[in-house]
Amino acid sequence: MRPAPEPTAPSLPDSPTYAALHAHARHARQWRLADLFRADADRASRLTLDAAGIALDFSKNLLQPETVALLADFARAQGVETLRDAMFGGEPINLTERRAVLHPVLRMPPGSRFDCQGEELVAEVQQVLQRMEAFAEQLRSGAWTGYTGRRITDLVNIGIGGSDLGPAMACAALRPCATPALRLHFLSNVDGHAVSALLDGLDPQTTLFIVSSKSFTTHETLLNAHAARDWFLQSGRTEDLPRHFVAVSTNAQAVADFGIAPANMFPFREWVGGRYSIWSAIGLSLLVAIGPGHFRDFLAGAHAMDEHFRQAPLERNLPALLGMISFWYREFFGTASQLIAPYHQDLGLFPFYLQQLEMESNGKEVTRDGQPVPMRTSPVIWGTVGTNGQHAYFQLLHQGTDLIPVDFIAALKPAHKQLHLHRTLLANCFAQAEALMNGLDDPALPPHRAFPGNHPSNMLLLDQLTPATLGALIALYEHKTFVLGALWKINSFDQWGVELGKTLATRILSELEGAPDMGAHDSSTAALIARAHAALG
């Protein structure tokens, strides 16, 4: 593989630690991973760390211990540790919304204390969790019945963004822990095809809906919730709604107006950001699916990673290392994307979950003080499960012209008894990482058979995918995202870019339902509205 070119427009923050990294990167772009391994017999052991049930082997990266030290120096100079301590201390680090970032409080163990601005938060979190657990036990046992007295067999979570991606991903990942007595469904897209496909297969007498919206005004969620309500009322009565609809929200009046009993509303606080909300009442569908004990384990795994991130030095800190390595490639190698490759079928939604977590958090162009970011921010996050990806886009990884770092994720022990299949799966995972690193350079082969190699990757190994290790894995990437945002000095906890398109959509909807205002748009948008108006009437 030819040496990686220097990025065409390198950013040059006024920082001695950045200057040292920049100079170091000039040499690093000439390195070959195979040579680094040949020169250091202990490289793999020295560049592998364990924490909270996760092993991270980062030895197949274009870095040396000196690189890690320089990255850590830069991270300290950028205030990563200071901002981390401020977050765990309850300071309002979400500056644009003037909020503290307290999702780690949601996974603190019972009996803990966390005081923020004179308010103790853990007791309140535990009270809501206990209410969720009581509700879950009623559903799981069959004590909660529908309006005709039949037990609930289908549970539908209606939400969008973090109110959908988190629960859907986690329920799929922890499928072996789920009760077979309940079928889980997730509805997020404002598309009548999705609504119809789901509702056509359900029985209103045995279906319960969880409507997840903090404000209970989220447009997409409410549209789908009203569609579900209208469907239910074709069979049931308005007074039957409380047996079939519960809410995760803080807007008691809107919830009551919808027809949901106030006792069936599970609240969470404004400091719970959407993409960090799986640990809160937004995780109700997950708690119902896997049960209170497993959900507590899920929280405990995340808390263990919180403690590791809070205490470990940056050089031996798993989230910090993932963040610094991602920054290294984005800034000094010009990488535009990051592949997430889980070699575990139940983690199939994990790359999509990380898309929101990382790109909504760090897809920013201004710093916390409103200045243009002088560096490249979030790469594109993408991926699917192995081994499927090997027969789709891995060709591009091996012989394409872009450098794309990979995070491989695997569990050493399966949740099934097909051991030969699992060994085959692990063999493919390990082989792909090795092949990307070493390539194949045989002079006897024609050029189209040559593999340049020198493609970097991380390997994250779980002993087994359990509630605890999933919790730790999610928290690991949450904190990695935080580290990247701190390195770029951006606010990772707002998402103003989500709002503009929604505002414009509201205006266009009024035109699709009434008279188009052709002078209010560019010619392309006006023509699109006219075509849709003509087709729909």
Instruction: Evaluate if residue 360 carries a pLDDT over 80.
Output: yes
Q: Look up 502 and say whether it is catalytic.
A: yes
Which residue among 193, 391, 417, 448 is the active-site one? 391
The percent of residues in the chain predicted with pLDDT above 90, rounded, is: 88
Q: What is the pLDDT of residues 171-204, one digit of tens each?
A: 999 999 999 999 999 999 999 999 999 999 999 9
- On the question of a cis peptide bond just before residue 506, with omega within 30 degrees of 0, the verdict is no
Q: Is 103-295 a CATH 3.40.50.10490 domain? A: yes
Residue 175's identity, in one-letter code, is R
Confidence at 13, pLDDT banded by 50, 70, 90: low
Q: Are 310 and 476 in contact (CB under 8 A)?
A: no
Return the ∠ at Cα 429 (arms to 428 and 432), rounded to 5°: 80
- Cα separation, 104 vs 482, in Å, equals 12
Average pLDDT (217-245) is 96
Contacts 24+ apart (CB under 8 A), 254-263: 254/215, 254/216, 254/217, 255/216, 258/211, 258/216, 258/225, 258/229, 259/229, 260/211
Task: Please give the residue that has the higher pLDDT: either 217 or 305.
Answer: 305
Q: Look up 391 and say whether it is catalytic.
A: yes
Q: Are 310 and 84 in contact (CB under 8 A)?
A: yes
Fold category of 33-92+312-488 in CATH: Rossmann fold (3.40.50)
- The domain locations on the chain are 33-92+312-488, 103-295, 497-536
Confidence at 427, pLDDT banded by 50, 70, 90: very high
Q: Are 7 and 21 in contact (CB under 8 A)?
A: no
User: Comparing 33-92+312-488 with 103-295, is the CATH topology the same?
Assistant: yes
Which residue among 360, 364, 478, 511 is the active-site one? 360
User: At 159, is the secondary structure helix, strand, or coil?
Assistant: coil
Which residue among 226, 413, 416, 502 is the active-site one? 502
Considering all CA atoms of the chain, what is the largest pairwise distance in Å, rounded to the nearest integer? 78
**DSSP string computed for 84-125:** HHHHHTT---BTTTTB---GGGGGSPTT---EETTEE-HHHH
pTM equals 0.95
Average pLDDT (435-449) is 91
Q: Look up 416 and say whether it is catalytic.
A: no
